[in-house]
Structure 1
Amino acid sequence: MGLAEQKLVMDMVAWASNVSSSVMIIFVNKILMNTTGYGFKYATTLCALHYMACSISIWITQAVGGVKKVTLPFTDLLLFTATANMSIVTLNLSLMINRVGFYQIAKLLIVPFVCLVERFWLQRHFSRPVITSILVVVAGVGIVTVTDVQMGDNMLGLIVAGLSVVSSGMQQIFCRTMQQKHGLSSHELLSNTAPAQGWTLMLLGPFLDRYVSAGWVFNYDWNVPALTFLALSCACAVGVNVSQFMCLGRFSAVSYQVLGHSKTMLVLLGGWLFLGDQIGLKQFGGMALAVVGMVAYGITSNQKTGPPKEKPSETVSLLGKEKGGETRVDIQVHAGSQGKFGNAKKEEV
C-alpha cells in the first residue's frame, strides 16, 4: 500500500471514529440520563467521570512518551477550567432536559455567538454573505425554539440551552487564545485541563447534582446495566477526544464543516428514529433552515478574501470540544490581542 492509500485509510478511520463517537455519546448519555432509561440524572458527576477517564488515557499516553507534559499558569488554568466546566455541565443538563433534536439545533447558535463576540471584542468585520448565513441559522433555531416552548412550555430547558451556548462559545475563544499564546496543541492543552476539570467536577458534582435533581448520586441504584452504560459513556468521551486529536490538521476547514454537518444530521435523524422525538412540519422546517445556514456559513467563511487594510491578522480556527459534537469556526485574531495570558512551560517526559 502506497503513502497516498495509507493517508486515505487514516483519513477515513479518523473521520469515521470522530463521527461515530460524537454521535454515539449523545444517545448513550440520553438513555443513561432519561427517566425512561436508567435515570442517572447527575449530569455534573457524569461530566467528572468523563474527564477522569480522559485524564487516565492522557496519563497513559504521557507514560509511554507520546505527549509532552504541560504546566499552565494557575490563573489561566482556573479561567479555562471554570468556563469549560460551565460549558460541559450546561450541555449535559440541556441534553437531559430537552429533546435530542432541540439540544443539537440549539448548539448551532454557538457559531453566531462566537461571531458576535469576535465582532465587538476583536473588531472583526464580516462579509455580507457571512452575515446572511448567520441570520439564517438564527432564524432556523428561533423557529425550532418557539415551537418547542409552545409545545412543552419548557422554559427551564430554553434557559439551560442558552447558558450552554454562551459558556461553550467562551470556551472556544479561551481554548484558541491559550493555544496560540502558549504554543500548545489541542492535546497538550487537554492534558493539562482535563485533570483539573475532572477533580473540580468530582468535588462539586454531588452537591450541584443534589441541588438540581433533589437527590444524592450516592443513593443511585448502581445496577449492572446502568454501570455498563456509564462505562460506555466514559469510553465514548475518550473516543471523542482521541478522534478529535486524529482529525486536527488532517482535514481542511471546508471538510471539517462537512464533518460537523454530518454529525448534526445523524443526531437529528437518530433522535427521530430511536428516541421518539416528534418533529412537526414547522420544527422540520426550522431544523432544515438552520442546517442550510450552517452549510452556507461554512462555504462563505472559507472563501478567500483580500488582506486586511489596517492591522495585520492571522487566521485561526476555533474548535469546540463537546460531548456529542464539534463546531469549527474560522475567525481572524488581530495581532497583539492575546496578551492577557502568561507563559506555559513544557516538560519532556
Structure 2
Amino acid sequence: MGEMSSFQLGVIGALFLSVASSVSIVICNKALMSNLGFPFATTLTSWHLIVTFCTLHAAQRFHLFDAKAIDMKTVMLFGILNGVSIGLLNLSLGFNSIGFYQMTKLAIIPFTVLLETLFLKKQFSQKIKLSLLVLLGGVAIASVTDLQLNFVGTILSLLAIVTTCVGQILTNTIQKRLNVSSTQLLYQSAPFQAAILFVSGPFVDHFLTKKNVFAYKYSSIVLAFIILSCIISVSVNFSTFMVIGKTSPVTYQVLGHLKTCLVLAFGYTLLHDPFTIKNIIGILVAIIGMGLYSYFCVQDNKKKQSVDLSLASQMKDKDSTPLLGMPDKEGHESKKSTKVSLV
C-alpha cells in the first residue's frame, strides 16, 4: 500500500509539474516571439535541450541521480526521432493554417490509441474512447478556426503525427522494458535531440521566417526571456518524460490538451487575447472530457488491481495446498517406517 501511495503521489506531482511548467513556458515564449519579435522556435528548442542536458549532467555529477548505460544505438535513434518530430511539427505550423495545425495535434491521440492497440495489444474500454472523443471535440471547438489544406502541409502533418506518436510510445516502452527512470532516459537522449535541432534549427527557422537567427540583434530583455525560457524548459522536458513513463502516451496527450485550454484562458486573462463564447464552450467541453477520461482510467485501474490481487490470492492458495498435505504424507511415511522397523 505504501508503494502504491508513493506511486500515486509521484504521478500527481509529475502531472502538476508538467502543466505548470508547460503553461509558463508557452506564456514566456509567446511574449518572446509575439511581443519581442524573436521568431526562431526550432533553434530555441535546441537551446532548451542543451540547457536541459547541462543541468542533468551537473545533477549527475553531484550524485542526485545515477546515470544508467543504455544501448547507444537505441538512445541515438530515439533522440534523433524526437528531434525530427519537433522539427516536423514546426514545419507543419509553417506550411499549414493554425486551424489545420491544431487538427494535426488532435490527431495524435487517436493515432496513438491505434498504434498501441495494433502493436502493443493494449485494450482501451469504450468509455475511455468516448471520453477521448468528448475531449477532442471540446479542444476542436475551442482552438480550431480554419482548415486550409495544401499537399506539402498535409504530408508534413502526417509525418509529424507518426514521429510524435512513435517517439512518445518509445519513451514509455524504453523506460519500462529497460528499467530506466525518466531522468536517466532524458539525460542519455537529450544530446542527440539537441544536436539534430541545433544543426537543422537555423535552416528551418530561416525557411519559415525568412530571417537569420545569427543576424538577429539580441537586446538585454530578449536575452533575459531566452534564459528564462531555457530554465523553464528543464522542468518541461523532465516532466514530459516523467508523465509518459509513469502513465501513458495517451494520458500525456490528454494533459497536453488541458494545457491548450489553460493557455487559451491565460492568454485571455493576462495577455488580453481575443476570446469568444465558442472558446469558453470548447474549454468547458474539453474539461468535462478530461474529467471523464481521468475517472474511467481510475475505475479501470481499480478493476485491474482487484483482478491482480484475486489472481495473486489464488496462486498463493494453490502454492499452499501441497504444504497442507505434507504433514499427512510425512505422518503416513513415519507410520509406515515404524511398522517396518517393528517387523
Q: Which amino acid aligns with 1:208?
A: V
For residues 254 and 167 of structure 2, the distance between their equivalents in structure 1, rounded to whole angstroms, comes to 22
Q: Which of 272, 277, 281 is the matching residue for 1:281?
A: 277
1:79 to 53, 77, 82: 77
Contact 2:85/2:163 (CA < 8 Å) preserved in 1? yes
1:277 aligned counterpart, secondary structure:
coil
Task: Determine which of 112, 115, 126 is the counterpart of 2:113.
Answer: 115
Instruction: Verify the 8 A CA contact 1:31 1:38 in the aligned structure 2.
Output: yes
User: 1:127-150, CA deviations, whole angstroms, 9 ceiling, x for partnerless residues?
Assistant: 2211211222233344346x5107
Q: Report the TM-score, using the length of structure 1 for normalisation.
A: 0.68
Task: Look up the match of 2:25.
Answer: 25
Q: Contact conserved, 1:257 with 1:295, CA < 8 A, in 2?
A: no
Contact 1:43-1:93 within 8 A present in 2 as well: no
1:296 aligns with 2:292: yes
The 3-state SS of whatever aligns with 1:217 is coil
Shift of 1:22: 2.2
State the 1:38 CA deviation: 1.7
2:328 is matched with which residue? none
CA contact (8 A) 1:130 1:301 kept: yes
Task: Give, in angstroms, the shift of residue 199 of structure 1.
Answer: 2.1
Q: Which of residues 196, 201, 204 is equivalent to 1:208?
A: 204
SS at match of 1:267: helix
| Alignment-derived partner of residue 335 in structure 2 | none
- Greater Cα offset, 70-79 or 129-138: 70-79
Cα separation, 2, equivalents of 1:278 and 1:163: 31
Partner of 2:60: 62
- CA deviations over 1:30-87 (Å, ceiling 9, x no partner): 12122xx122211111011000000110110111122222333343223312321133
Residue 187 of structure 1 aligns with which residue? 183
Superposed CA deviations along residues 315-344 of structure 1, whole A, max 9, x for unmatched, are xxxxxxxxxxxxxxxxxxxxxxxxxxxxxx
Give the AA of the match of 1:209: D
Partner of 1:148: 145
Mapped contact 1:54–1:194 kept (Cα < 8 A): yes
CA distance in 1, matches of 2:10, 2:177: 30
Name structure 2 gaps, 5 residues minimum. Answer: 1-8, 308-343
Helix, strand or coil at the partner of 1:219? coil
For the Cα contact (< 8 Å) 1:87–1:168, is it kept in 2?
yes
Alignment check: 8 A CA contact 2:42 2:205 kept: yes
Is the alpha carbon distance of 1:257 and 1:154 closer, same or farther for their aligned partners in structure 2, counting shifts above 3 Å?
A: closer
Query: Which residue matches 1:270?
Result: 266
Q: Does 1:232 pair with 2:228? A: yes
Q: Secondary structure at 2:68's aligned position in 1?
A: strand
Higher helix share: 2
Deviation (angstroms), 1:302: 2.6
Structure 1 residues 21 and 123 mapped into 2: Cα distance closer, same or farther (>3 Å)?
closer
Residues 115-124 or 230-239, more deviating:
115-124
Q: CA deviation at 1:125?
A: 3.1
Given that residues 99 and 277 in structure 1 are in contact (C-alpha distance below 8 angstroms), is that contact kept between their aligned partners in structure 2?
Answer: no
Instruction: Tell me how far apart the structure 1 counterparts of residues 216 and 264 of structure 2 sit (CA, whole Å).
Output: 30
Task: Supply the distance in 1 between the matched residues of 2:100 and 2:129 (Cα, whole angstroms).
Answer: 23
- Residue 168 of structure 1, aligned match among 157, 164, 168: 164
Q: TM-score, normalised by structure 2?
A: 0.70
User: What residue in structure 2 maps to residue 177 of structure 1?
Assistant: 173
Give the alignment partner of residue 38 of structure 2, picking from 30, 37, 40: 40
Aligned residues: 296
**How many angstroms apart in 2 are the aligned matches of 1:179 and 1:14?**
15
8 Å Cα contact 2:51/2:234 also seen in 1:
yes
Find the counterpart in structure 2 of residue 199 from structure 1.
Answer: 195
Structure showing greater Rg: 2
Please state whether the residue corresponding to 1:70 is helix, strand or coil.
coil
Query: For residues 95 and 23 of structure 1, do their structure 2 counterparts lie closer, same or farther at Cα, with a shift above 3 Å needed?
Result: farther
Q: CA deviation at 1:288?
A: 2.4
Distance 1:284 1:162, change over 3 A: farther
Question: Deviation at 1:104?
Answer: 8.1
Q: Whole-Å Cα distance in 2 between the matches of residues 30 and 157 of structure 1?
A: 23
SS of structure 2 residue aligned to 1:220: coil
Residue number in structure 1 paired with 2:341: none
Q: Is the 8 A contact 2:258 2:290 kept in 1?
A: no
Name the amino acid aligned to 2:129.
Answer: I
Whole-angstrom CA distance in 2 between matches of 1:38 and 1:97: 23
**Change in 2 beyond 3 A, CA 1:54/1:230:** same
